Each structure stands twice: as C-alpha cells, then as structure tokens.
Amino acid sequence: MAENEEKTVVADIDRSMYDFRYEEKPEDIFKVDEGLTPEIVDEISKEKGDPEWMREFRQKSLEIYNQLEVPEWGPDISGLNMDNIVTYIRPKKKNMASDWQEVPEDIKNTFEKLGIPQAERESLAGVGAQYDSELVYHNVKDEAASLGVVYTDIESALHGPYADMIRDHFMHLVPPTDHKFAALHGAVWSGGSFVYVPKGVHLDFPLQSYFRLNAPGAGQFEHTLIIVDEGAYCHFIEGCSAPKYNVANLHAGCVELFVAKGATLRYSTIENWSKNMYNLNTKRAIVEEGGKIEWVSGSFGSHVSYLYPMSILNGEGAKCEFTSVTFAGKGQNLDTGTKVVHNAPNTSSYINTRSISKSGGISTYRSAVTVMPNAKGSKSAVSCQSLMLDDISRSDTIPAMDIRTADCDIGHEARIGRINDDVVFYLMSRGLSEEDARALIVSGFADNVGKELPLEYAVEMNNLIRLEMKGAIG
Amino acid sequence: MADICLQVESLKAEVEDKEILHGIDLTVGAGETHVIMGPNGAGKSTLGSTLMGDPRYHITGGKITFNGEDITGLTTDKIAKAGMFMSFQNPVEVPGITLSNFIKTAVENRTGQRLRAWDFKKTLEKTMSVLNMDPSYAERDLNVGFSGGEKKKAEILQLLMLKPSLAILDETDSGLDVDAVKTVSDGIDEYKKSVGGALLIITHSTRILESLHVDRTHVLVDGRIVADGDGSMVDDINENGFEKYIQK
C-alpha cells in the first residue's frame, strides 16, 4: 500500500457544516411551523400516495408523538433539535439533491479505502442517480420471484396484492406508542423493504437492502417488514460497510420481522452511518413455535446510537441468536444491546456481544432478558466482552434479567479487557506493523460477527476495522 | 571467513529499571549455528527478546548489527522485515485469523509480493507434511487450542515459510516429547538445508542439539557470557552441568 494511502483518518465530521443553517440565506427558508403539524404529515402522505388507512395511521402516530417525551435514560441526544423536527423530515430540496462535492472528505476517503466504485459511492452518499447495482437488484428480485418470494419497497406493496398483508402487520410489532421515535417513524416513514417468503421456501441467497439505497427517503425513516412463513428460510442483509451520509442527522428507522412456525430468519446488519448521526432505530422480531431468529449486527457509525433489537419468543421451542459487535471511536456514544422475551415453554436465547471503544469513545452494552412464568424449561446464555483500546475510552455493561419462573436455565458472563502486549509483540515479530498487529487483534475480537457474515461482508468489516484502527498508535 | 550475520557489542538491557544483560558480545556468521546455554534466570530469553526488539526490554548500552545494518532500537516489525525470526517459548493464541492466512499475510508482508493462493497452499501443505502436522491445522485460528507440541511445530512452520536469515529458537524443545523433539529437529534441519540461514538456539537442555551440527556454544550466566567454545562444549555441559561456569 502506498504511503499516501496510509493516512486515512475516519475522523469526526464537523457537524456545524451540515446543520441546516436556514438563517444564512433567508430566501431559502421553508415557511413551516415549529414542530410537526398534521398538515405536513398529510402532505407527506399525499406525496407518497398512501391509502386512506395509512394516512389515518400517520395522523394517529403524530398525535402519539406529540404526547410522548424524549427518553432520558440513555446517551445524551440534546444535540437533536426536537423543537424543529421538520428540518429532519423535510430538509430543503436543495440539500437533498446535494452533489458529490458536498459529501464530507472523510467519507469520500473511506469509500476509496473500501474500494467502492465511483458510481456506487455517489449513490451510497445519496447524491447519485441510478447505478450498476440496480441491475443486480433486479436480477436478485427476479430470481427470488421465481421462488414465489416477494421483495419490493413498502410503497408499492401498499397498493399491490399484498396490501392487506402490510396492513395486518405494519407497526403491529412496534406500535407507535412504543416510544417517541417509533411514533415519529409512524408519522413520517418513507422507503424501505417488504419481503414475504412463502411456506417452505428456502432462499439460499441473501436479500440485500444495499441495492435499495436509492429509494426516495431511504436511510432515514425507512421501514423494513419481513414475513417468513411456516418452515421457510431467509437471510436479509441490511446496509453495508460504506459510510452512509445523510444531510439530516436523525435516523429513526423501524424493522419488523415475523418468523412463523418452524421458519428461520437471519437478519444481518453492518451499519456505518456518518459520525454526525443520531441513530435511534427500532428493530423487533416475533418468533412462533420452533422458529428461529438470528441477528448478526455490526455497529460502527453514528454519533449516538440507541439500538436494541428485540426478539419475542412466542411459540414453544422458539430460538434467538444475537451476535453483535459495536465499535465506538472518538466522539461516539454507542448504546447497543438486545432484548429477549421468553414467552413460551422451552424457548432459548443465545447472546454473544463484543464492544470496542477507542479514542474516548463510549460503548455501552445494555440488555434485557425476560422469562415469563409460562416459559418453563427455557434457556438463556448471555456473554458480553469489551475491549478498551486506551485509557480515555469507556465501556459499560448493563445486563438486566427479569426471571419469573424457577424452571429455567440462565447464564451470564461479562469480560472487559485490553490488548495484550505479548500478542502485539508476537505479531510484530512476524513483520506486522504495530498498527496492523492491533487491527488484526481487534478483527479477531470481532470475529464472532465476522465469521457469521458472508465472505465479502466479513472482508469489508475487517477493512473497516483496519481503517478505524489507523492512527490509533501514539 | 563467512560474512557476519549478527554482531552484538557490549549489549546492556534492563526491564523495569533492573539491568538483566550486563554487556553481551556475540558474533554469528552467516549460516552458522550457535547455542546459548545457561541456567534458569541467566537472561537467555531476555537476550533473544532484546535482539527481537521486545519493547519491554530497554537497551541501555551497546549495539546490534544485523546483516550489516545497525538495528539497535528498531521496532520489532522492522527487525523482522530485515530477516530475523524468533520461535517463541510460549506462542500466544490469536483468535480470528487462521494459521494459513496469518502465514500468508506475514510472507506477503516480508516479501512485498502477493502470493497466488494456490501456490501458497501447495507450499504450505508440503511444509506441514515435513513437520508431520495435520493439514487441518492450517484452517484453525492461530495457535488457538493447539497442544504445546503443535504450537512449537507451528513456530517451525512459520520459520520455514518466512525463510529468515537468522532464527532465534527460544526453548523450542521445552515441554516436547521425544517424537516431537525429533520432528522439530527435522524441521530445523530443513531450514539449514533449504534456507541456509543462521541459528541462535537458546536452551537449557541439549536434546534438540543432538542431531544438529553446532558451530559455537556460549554459556550465559547472570547476564554475562562467561564461556565460549565449539560444538563439543554442548556435550561437556550435558555431562557436567553449569557448575564450573557459575563458580567462575
């Protein structure tokens, strides 16, 4: 690698550059009321061509949004301008259509390091039009369709033959009453994916939302709804390792996963939002008898994250596996973990998380495992490990357990450690630089996720770790 | 006279402000086999680690010249890239990278050239068979869950693949059964034959030396080399121990 390529810094974005500074050019100001009004929500609904029930749903969500308070228990989100939430929902057209020149330099550099082609870079940065992978997406879509699998955007699905299915599931698992940002999502959601895998269909290639990033509004309030019918199998991959840049710095997406009897869904995510982002995403799965949800999650980006994918094990013998890695660098406060509710006999959950903090980053593991009185014979094993790369970073573990039956088997282990100097010396004695040695150790630490990802994603994740580790020495 | 591979002059090193090496002089010619013997705690492993640039040991005096280059105070990776290798007494476990991928990374790093996956795989398999290693170890995480014997074989495997001009073997025979010692000795023979590099063997026993031609023997006691001799000195120590050197 040439010397000039070594100087990557995945530094933090100076957010002041990207806030919407309406005051600067008064002629550009949107004439909007403070806060979100029913009129604005109706306008969104109209633009998207919602059916009537969805229009009503949005309005109801808005009412709930206005009643709920911002959560006070997690990382500080006072940097979000909650008094003028409209700026996040309807940023000026001009900004949305921003061109490649306006994309922050560090993101461009990262694209370069990750070897992503120019056309895709522009698209991922949200500034490009159509690009090559659109074709790939269509191929995947056609191949899935030949198996009877539906893979489309939610907006189209609302009007097609699956309209009733959407209506029966949309925000039933994550109701707008869940929390303020779920309500916000209900009111202003836009874009996302709908997947339906029919009974007994085993989809042996993953569906990737990567190809769908061009969808209007995708990547901010997008909704993902996946229904895997009885005995079927599906692997869905959300995001990619390229940093996603968005002019608005609030992400409040929602993911609802329905896993029917005997079905298995694997949901993989590599998330690398730009580092000015408040990532307040809600993900939830309900698993019926003998079904299984497998979460594989890598969180690298954003300024602040609240992310706790939840699994409701609702049928006898339902299973959940949750495997994650969180990497909090300078200026990042990533509060991640998972929730599991054992709500049927003989259900099991296996949670294996790793968190890494560096350069003053804060990484918090937060989880809640609830075993209901009816969940006799259930098992839960939680293992969380943290790696702190220096003395100024922070790592916390907050595992909650609410066990309401004596007839269950619950285990929990937590470890916090540092990089062992002996290992660094050993690797360097084979010719690896200190930086490469540390990056290799960190990649190895994150291997719980790496080995669960498809190869190209695992390689990307390791590249990402390498980039994050650049400049970590002295 | 052969070219000089390693020249150590008046080397002093300390750990946590305590001087361990009190001025070591040592010259190893290219392709020569030297043995450093001495009782426990004499500073043998410290010498090996210091040569390899272990940051825990501070060089407080003297000079190390390797293949004509002053490497005193260089970082470990630069010393390794210059062609020095150390087989560790206790190789560490590194989860997340397979033995095969690690060796490939290290070789590519050393040579600066990308290896073709197929060529590399064939060479690796062949080398593993010399060491009686189960080929499945190539795909296991580096040293993770390896037995003591397999770890030592994995060290010799790296030695054979990296082809250094000087290999420091730190107690490579410790904790091995007779068969494993034989296998490791065969591996070292192979290194002498195919690479022709120099060896600096640190040991307090003589088992691994039985089948090797030793050019020079050095006895290290209390951080000083107190005696030098040829290969026959190994046999003498084998029979009579270190007493006479310690009393000196």
- The larger pLDDT score, comparing residue B31 to residue A271, is at B31
Residue A307 has pLDDT above 90, yes or no: yes
Q: pTM for this structure?
A: 0.83
pLDDT value at residue B123: 95
Cα dist from A331 to A70, A172, A278, A358, whole Å: 22, 35, 12, 10
Q: What is the pLDDT of residue A95?
A: 38
Chain B: closest CA distance from residue A427 (Å):
8
Report yes or no: A213 and A175 within 8 Å, Cβ to Cβ: no
Phi-psi bin for B120: left (phi > 0), alpha (psi -120 to 50), beta? alpha
- Identify the weakest region by mean pLDDT among A180-184, B29-33, B96-100: B96-100
Minimal C-alpha gap between B93 and chain A (Å):
8
* Mean pLDDT on A52-74: 94
B85 touches chain A (CB under 8 A): yes
Q: For residues B102 and A430, what is the distance between their CA atoms, to the nearest angstrom?
A: 9
**What ipTM score was computed for the predicted complex, to two decimals?**
0.95
The reply to whether B87 touches chain A by the CB within 8 Å rule is no
Average of pLDDT values for A342-350? 98
pLDDT exceeds cutoff 90 at A114: no
Burial A18-28 (b: 16+ CB within 10 A, else e): bebeeeeeeee
- Res B78: pLDDT: 96
Chain A interface residues (partner B, CB cutoff 8 A): 420-423, 425-434, 436-437, 440-441, 443-447, 450
Q: Is the pLDDT of residue A125 over 80?
A: no
- Predicted pLDDT at A210: 57
Which residue in B has a C-alpha nearest to residue A428's C-alpha?
B77
A118 pLDDT band (50/70/90 cuts)? low
Question: From residue A41, how far is each of A60, A89, A166, A250, A282 by CA, in Å?
Answer: 10, 10, 20, 17, 21
pLDDT at A31: 43
Is A444 close to B88, i.e. CB distance below 8 A?
no
Angle between helices B99-111 and B117-130 (to 10 degrees): 110
Q: Which residues of A touch B91 (CB under 8 A)?
A: 426
Give A255's pLDDT tier (boundaries 50, 70, 90): very high
Residue A375's closest CA among A426, A340, A400? A340
pLDDT at A427: 97
Please give the structure tokens belonging to residue A457. 């994603």
For residues B89 and B151, is the Cβ–Cβ distance under 8 A? no
Contacts of A3 in chain B (CB under 8 A): none
Contact of A425 with A394, CB cutoff 8 Å: no
Identify which of A283, A223, A213 has the alpha carbon closest to the alpha carbon of residue A48: A223
Answer yes or no: are the C-beta atoms of A90 and A30 closer than 8 Å.
yes
- Whole-number Cα distances in Å, A75 to A19, A180, A245, A306, A334: 20, 15, 22, 8, 8
Highest mean pLDDT among A100-104, A192-196, A239-243: A192-196
A415 forms bridges with which residues in the sheet? A385
State the average pLDDT for chain A: 82
Q: Cα(B58)–Cα(B42) distance, rounded to whole angstroms?
A: 17
Q: Which of B76, B94, B95 sits opposite A429 (nearest CB)?
A: B76
Place of tokens 């492993």: B45
Distance CA A191, CA A156 (A): 10
Residue B33 to residues B25, B160, B198, B202, B209, Cα–Cα distance (Å):
16, 16, 6, 11, 10
Closest CA–CA distance from residue B238 to any residue of chain A (Å)? 31
User: What is the three-class DSSP state of A325?
Assistant: strand
Q: With contact defined as beta carbons under 8 Å apart, do A456 and A317 qualify? A: no
Partner residue facing B106 (CB), from A432, A443, A446 = A432
Q: Please tell me which of the candidates B54, B85, B96 has its beta carbon nearest to residue A443.
A: B96
The kind and range of the H/E element at B97 are strand B94-98
> How close does chain A come to B208, measured CA to CA in Å?
23
Q: How many CB pairs under 8 A join A and B?
A: 71
* pLDDT tens sequence across A388-409: 999 999 999 999 999 999 999 9
Enumerate domains of chain B plus CATH numbers.
4-92+165-247 (3.40.50.300)
3-state secondary structure of B34: strand
For residues A3 and A268, which has the higher predicted lDDT (pLDDT)? A268
Give residue for tokens 């990484």: A363
**Measured between alpha carbons, how far is residue A114 from residues A85, A105, A177, A326, A467 in Å?**
33, 14, 40, 19, 9
* Partner-chain residue, chosen from B94, B141, B158, that has the shortest CB–CB distance to A423: B94
Q: Do A441 and B94 make contact, defined as CB atoms within 8 angstroms?
A: yes
Is the per-residue pLDDT at A251 higher than 70?
Answer: yes
Give the one of A420, A432, A444 whose C-beta lies nearest to B77's C-beta: A432
Query: Which pLDDT belongs to residue A47?
Result: 85
- B77, B97, B110 member nearest A428 (Cβ): B77
Cα B23 → chain centroid: 21
Contacts of A426 in chain B (CB under 8 A): 88, 91-92, 94
- Of A57-66, A78-87, A342-351, the poorest mean pLDDT is in A78-87
Spatial separation of the C-alpha atoms in residues A354 and A443, rounded to whole Å: 11
Q: What is the DSSP letter of A304?
A: E
Cβ distance B109 to A446 less than 8 Å, yes or no, reads no
Chain A residues touching residue B52 (CB < 8 angstroms): 425, 429
pLDDT grade for A116, boundaries at 50, 70 and 90: low
Weakest-pLDDT range from A86-95, A104-113, A212-221, A354-363? A212-221
Cβ neighbours of A382 (radius 10 Å): 24
Q: Do B105 and A441 touch (CB under 8 A)?
A: no
Q: Average of pLDDT values for A121-140?
A: 48
Distance from CA of A439 to the nearest CA of B (A): 11
Q: Is the pLDDT of residue A129 over 80?
A: no
pLDDT mean across residues, chain B: 91
Q: Is B76 on the interface with A (CB under 8 A)?
A: yes
- Rounded to 5 degrees, φ, ψ at A57 are -60, -45
Of B81, B91, B97, the CB nearest to A431: B81
Q: A235 with A203: CB under 8 angstroms?
A: yes
CA atoms of A387 and A328, how far apart (whole Å) = 11
Tell me the average pLDDT across A311-321: 98
pLDDT of residue A81: 77
User: How much of chain B exceeds pLDDT 70, in percent?
Assistant: 98
* A214-218, A375-379, B134-138: least confident range: A214-218
For A44, B45, B172, B200, the CA distances from A167, given in Å and listed in that order, are: 18, 71, 69, 75
Nearest Cα of chain B lies from the Cα of A383 at a distance, in angstroms, of 17
Nearest beta carbon to residue A429 from set B56, B80, B94 = B80
State how far the Cα of A439 lies from the Cα of A470, in Å rounded to an integer.
8
Q: What angle do CA A150, A194, A39 make, to 5 degrees?
A: 140
CA A198 from chain center: how many Å? 25
Distance CA A33, CA A26 (A): 16
Q: A221-225, A238-242, A263-267, B244-248: which range is least confident on average?
A: A238-242
Cα separation values, B94 from A210, A416, A471, Å: 32, 17, 22
- Chain A positions touching B49 (Cβ under 8 A) are 425
**Distance between CA atoms of residues B70 and A275, nearest Å:** 44
Q: Which are the contacts of A376, defined by CB distance < 8 A and separation ≥ 6?
A: A345, A346, A405, A407, A408
Q: How far is A440 from chain B (nearest CA, A)?
A: 8
What pLDDT sits at residue A197? 96
CA A162/CA A148 separation, integer angstroms = 13
**DSSP assignments along A207-264, one per residue:** EEGGGGTTSTTTTTS-EEEEEE-TT-EEEEEE--SSPB--SS-EE--EEEEEE-TT-E
Interatomic CA distance for residues A88 and A65, integer angstroms: 15
Q: What is the pLDDT of residue A244?
A: 61
Mark yes or no for CB contact A426/B88 under 8 Å. Answer: yes
B226 at A interface, C-beta within 8 A: no
Closest by CA position to B49, among listed A436, A473, A426: A426
C-beta separation of A444 from A452 below 8 A: no
